[in-house]
Amino acid sequence: MRSRSVLCTAAVGALALVMYAVPAVAHHAFGAEFDADAPIQLTGEIVKLEWVNPHSWIHIEITNDDGSKEVWMVEGGTPNVLVRRGLRRECLPIGTTLVVDGFQTKDLTLKRANGRDVTFPDGRKFFLGSSGTGAPDDGAEQRGRGTEGRC
Amino acid sequence: MRYSTSLLALCVAITSLATVSQAAAQGPAADAGRWVVPRTAEGHPDLQGNWTNVTVTPFQRAEDKGPVLTWDEVAVLEGRAAARVERGARASDPDRAAPAVTGNTGGYNNVYIDRGKIVAIVDGQPRSSLLTTPPDGRIPAMSPMGEKRMEEYRAFRAQFGRYDNPETRPLGERCMMSFGSSAGPPMIPNNFYNNNYTIVQTADYVMIQTEMVHDTRIIRLGEPGRLPEHMRPWMGDSWGHWEGDVLVVETTNINPMQTFSRFPPSKDRKVTERFSRVDEETILYEFTIEDPAYSELWGGQIPFKAFDDLLYEYSCHEGNYALDNILRGARYQERQGNQPEQR
């Protein structure tokens, strides 16, 4: 019994030591999830928005050179900040065309990438497309608790 | 009996007087325009509400700085934060190509990020760091015991890869706890977003909920009845008491996986926090860390500002494709005959 207890203590201690190298500034290290050698640019229409934590995910359908279609998932940050700035999921209509710059996940068979830059085709930032600069308290956005958002 | 009756009457009179005085002190007519600390039914300062500790003041001080910034330096720091937001909002080149390979995957559009825009001000002083003890505002060196632990860590760590399984991934990545030390203790703002808290208070408990990732710490008030040493809740075993108008919370039994500033706590770590309601919009939060893994005590002061908005349930597991992607990525690299990078 005692040996089991000691073993458990050792295991917890060992795990604690594993956790030593925790990235302190993000939910995850971008370099752990995405391949820095696999940059990608995608142009396609929104088919689905996942307004969830810890990261929002935008699904866009792209058309390949041979005419075939693929749906890619693009990772963004927490939706909480966007909601507090009055930007709701309803503000971002399905069918909107986006241009996404990013890097693929390390598993290159997945159709997933980080949204390093997400814009409309004319270069305007996707999340700032309705009004204002999108900066906190720039005067254009409304509080998340309001009945109306920015869009 | 007669004596007792008189004593009772005196007590009632004193209590009534105290109550009237307190009411008068809080009454707007008695002290028009001056803020008076709001109190709960028990007479303690009311800490309840939503608060944020986001700030552009760094946790540790730059080595060439004193503890207090000049107002010119404040303008530079806050201006830099505003400029970063403005830059992040600019339109991109519509004819741009895919990102260059630089070894850095980058982050997200800046609109997601909320690193704060104001310098932390304590006692009217704009602070150059949140850490104030030791006096240089830097995390102290490890003790010989702490150094030994690190050596043991390195030896242990060398046995397996960082991407081998979910258990070797950080708590934040697994949606177990907030990343960094948002929930604490001590409660330190992260450099990203969602540095928001809700405090709820009763006569016997204080609850602190951290928005990211919906971590709730229950602080019991009164004489501590500590948990056995082997019981290690994520945020430890917190007991509080009032010292005048200051809520003092002492926490032990912190889970060894609840890392802070990249170092796991030793089993004997004790964190002491002090909550003082200093004005209508501010709780002054102070903390000290006693840990034999470090050569000396360390701690700091952070203003918690009233947060005039809602907090949202985090539901972190709902969309945590990231952990899946990270582990899949490592397996994919192995199938390709490559060893996953150890970073």
Q: With respect to residue A147, please indicate whether it lies within any of the assigned structural domains.
A: no
Pair B127, B68: CB distance under 8 Å: yes
Q: With respect to residue A76, please indicate whether it lies within any of the assigned structural domains.
A: yes
Query: Is the C-alpha dihedral spanning A76, A51, B118, B300 positive or negative?
Result: negative
What is the domain extent for residue A33? 2-128
pLDDT band at B341 (very low <50, low <70, confident <90, very high): low
Residue labelled with tokens 């690299």: B333
Residue type, B249: V
Distances (CA, A) of B191 to A24, A26, B115: 8, 8, 5
Answer whether B190 sits within 8 Å of A24, measured CB to CB. Answer: yes
The residues that bridge with B287 in the sheet, in sequence order, are B273, B300
Q: What average pLDDT score do residues A39-47 get?
A: 96
Question: B343: which chain A residues are within 8 Å (Cβ-Cβ)?
Answer: 29, 31-32
Looking at residue A15, its pLDDT comes to 41
Tens digit of each residue's pLDDT (9 = 90 or more) over B14-54: 344 333 334 334 444 456 688 999 999 999 999 999 999 99
Give the one of B99, B325, B330 whose C-beta lies nearest to A110's C-beta: B325
Looking at residue A27, its pLDDT comes to 62
Tens digit of each residue's pLDDT (9 = 90 or more) over B82-120: 999 889 889 999 999 999 998 888 888 888 889 999 999
**In whole angstroms, what is the distance from residue A34 CA to residue A100 CA?**
15
Which of A27, A75, A97, A143 should we substitute to test contact with B (largest number of B Cβ atoms within 10 Å)? A27
Closest chain A residue to the Cα of B320, Cα to Cα: A54
Looking at residue A132, its pLDDT comes to 36
Looking at residue B124, its pLDDT comes to 96
Pair B55, B189: CB distance under 8 Å: yes
Residue type, B56: V
Pair B191, A25: CB distance under 8 Å: yes
Q: With respect to residue A146, please indicate whether it lies within any of the assigned structural domains.
A: no
Mean pLDDT of chain B: 88
Pair B248, B260: CB distance under 8 Å: no
B122, two tokens: 């304590």
Tens digit of each residue's pLDDT (9 = 90 or more) over B166-193: 988 888 899 999 878 999 899 999 988 9
Q: How many helices (H) and strands (E) does chain A have?
A: 3, 6
Q: With respect to residue A103, please indicate whether it lies within any of the assigned structural domains.
A: yes
Looking at residue B159, its pLDDT comes to 85
Give the residue, A124 or B4, on which the prediction is more confident. A124
**In whole angstroms, what is the distance from residue B279 CA to residue B122 CA?**
11
| Spatial CB neighbours of B3, under 8 Å, sequence gap ≥ 6 | none
Lowest mean pLDDT, pick from A22-31, A49-58, B1-10, B62-71? B1-10
**In whole angstroms, what is the distance from residue A76 CA to residue B313 CA?**
18
Distances (CA, A) of B88 to A28, B111, B217: 21, 7, 35
pLDDT band at B146 (very low <50, low <70, confident <90, very high): very high
Give the residue, B229 or A8, on which the prediction is more confident. B229
Closest chain B residue to the Cα of A39, Cα to Cα: B99
Tens digit of each residue's pLDDT (9 = 90 or more) over A121-149: 999 988 764 433 333 343 333 344 444 44
Counting the structural domains of chain A, the total is: 1
Pair A89, A49: CB distance under 8 Å: yes
ipTM of this complex prediction, to 2 decimal places: 0.82
Looking at residue B308, its pLDDT comes to 93
Which of B59, B96, B105 should we substitute to test contact with A (largest number of A Cβ atoms within 10 Å)? B105
Looking at residue B342, its pLDDT comes to 60
Answer whether A28 sits within 8 Å of B172, measured CB to CB. Answer: yes
CA distance B153 to chain A (A): 5
pLDDT band at A82 (very low <50, low <70, confident <90, very high): confident
Looking at residue B26, its pLDDT comes to 44
Report which listed range, A4-18, B6-20, B230-244, is most confident.
B230-244
- Residue B316 is given by DSSP the state G
Q: What is the DSSP string of B189-248?
A: --SSS--EEEEEE-SSEEEEEETTTTEEEEEEESS--PPPTT---TT-EEEEEEETTEEE
CA distance A98 to chain B (A): 11
Cα–Cα–Cα angle for B91, B93, B99, nearest 5°? 110
B184, two tokens: 């604490």
CA distance B272 to chain A (A): 22
Closest chain B residue to the Cα of A81, Cα to Cα: B112
Give the residue, A24 or B73, on which the prediction is more confident. B73
Q: What average pLDDT score do residues B322-336 get?
A: 94
**In whole angstroms, what is the distance from residue A38 CA to residue A43 CA?**
16
Q: With respect to residue A136, please indicate whether it lies within any of the assigned structural domains.
A: no
Looking at residue B261, its pLDDT comes to 61
CA distance A45 to chain B (A): 16
Which of B60, B325, B338 should we substitute to test contact with A (largest number of A Cβ atoms within 10 Å)? B325
Cβ–Cβ contact A108 with B under 8 A: yes
Give the one of B99, B257, B319 whose C-beta lies nearest to A53's C-beta: B319
B8, two tokens: 């009772």
B149, two tokens: 């632990």
Q: With respect to residue A21, please indicate whether it lies within any of the assigned structural domains.
A: yes
CA distance B342 to chain A (A): 9
Q: With respect to residue A151, please indicate whether it lies within any of the assigned structural domains.
A: no
Q: What average pLDDT score do residues A74-92 get?
A: 85
Question: B56: which chain A residues are within 8 Å (Cβ-Cβ)?
Answer: none
Question: B156: which chain A residues are within 8 Å (Cβ-Cβ)?
Answer: 14, 17-18
Tens digit of each residue's pLDDT (9 = 90 or more) over B214-258: 999 999 999 999 999 999 999 999 999 999 999 999 999 999 887
Give the residue, A5 or A72, on which the prediction is more confident. A72
Give the one of B98, B257, B323 whose C-beta lies nearest to A19's C-beta: B257
The residues that bridge with A63 in the sheet, in sequence order, are A69
Residue B139's CB is within 10 A of a number of other CB atoms, namely 17
Q: Is the pLDDT of residue A77 over 50?
A: yes
CATH of the domain at A85: 2.40.50.140
**In whole angstroms, what is the distance from residue B157 CA to residue B291 CA?**
22
Cβ–Cβ contact A1 with B under 8 A: no
Element (H, E) at A99: strand A97-105
CB neighbour class for B324 (10 Å; exposed up to 12, middle 13-18, buried from 19): middle
Tens digit of each residue's pLDDT (9 = 90 or more) over B274-287: 999 999 999 999 99
Report which listed range, A116-125, B152-161, B238-247, is most confident.
B238-247
Residue labelled with tokens 């242990």: B156
Looking at residue B155, its pLDDT comes to 85
Answer whether A122 sits within 8 Å of B149, measured CB to CB. Answer: no
Q: What is the DSSP string of B159-189?
A: TS-TTSSGGGS-TTTTTSS-STTSSSSS---
Q: Does residue B63 sit in helix, strand or coil?
A: coil
Q: With respect to residue A58, please indicate whether it lies within any of the assigned structural domains.
A: yes
Query: Angle of helix B144-157 relative to helix A2-18, nearest 10 degrees?
Result: 90
Q: Is the pLDDT of residue A30 over 70?
A: yes
pLDDT band at B4 (very low <50, low <70, confident <90, very high): very low
C-alpha radius of gyration, chain B, whole number: 24
Pair B52, B187: CB distance under 8 Å: no
| Spatial CB neighbours of B14, under 8 Å, sequence gap ≥ 6 | none
